Amino acid sequence: MALLAPVPPGLFLAIALGTLYGAIGHLAFGRHWLRLPLFVLVGIVGCAVVWLADIRLFTHLPAPGGLPIVEASLVAWLLLCMIAAWRRA
């Protein structure tokens, strides 16, 4: 438990949500299992960028741990779709 103490809750949530989105994105768009780490990494980067930049479009929605869930989801899925389109081309 001491390993998780220095990690801010918003970053932890961004990593968990990005991993989930990357796995679902690979399930939907991936062709080969070797691309799974790419999809997971892009999902994590998409969520972490929103947390680091503190992007808030909908200020009335809650942001647990400082991570706006709607904005993080939009950015992560946008990047995942871009990676999927790039890998298919």
- The rounded distance, in Å, linking the Cα atoms of 39 and 18 is 9
- The rounded distance, in Å, linking the Cα atoms of 73 and 40 is 13
- The rounded distance, in Å, linking the Cα atoms of 15 and 56 is 18
What are the pLDDT digits (tens) for 9-47?
899 999 999 999 999 999 998 888 888 999 999 999 999
For residue 61, give the amino acid letter: L
- DSSP code of 61? S
> Would you say 61 and 68 are in contact if contact means Cβ atoms under 8 Å apart?
yes
What are the pLDDT digits (tens) for 34-89?
889 999 999 999 999 999 998 898 889 888 988 999 999 999 999 999 998 987 75
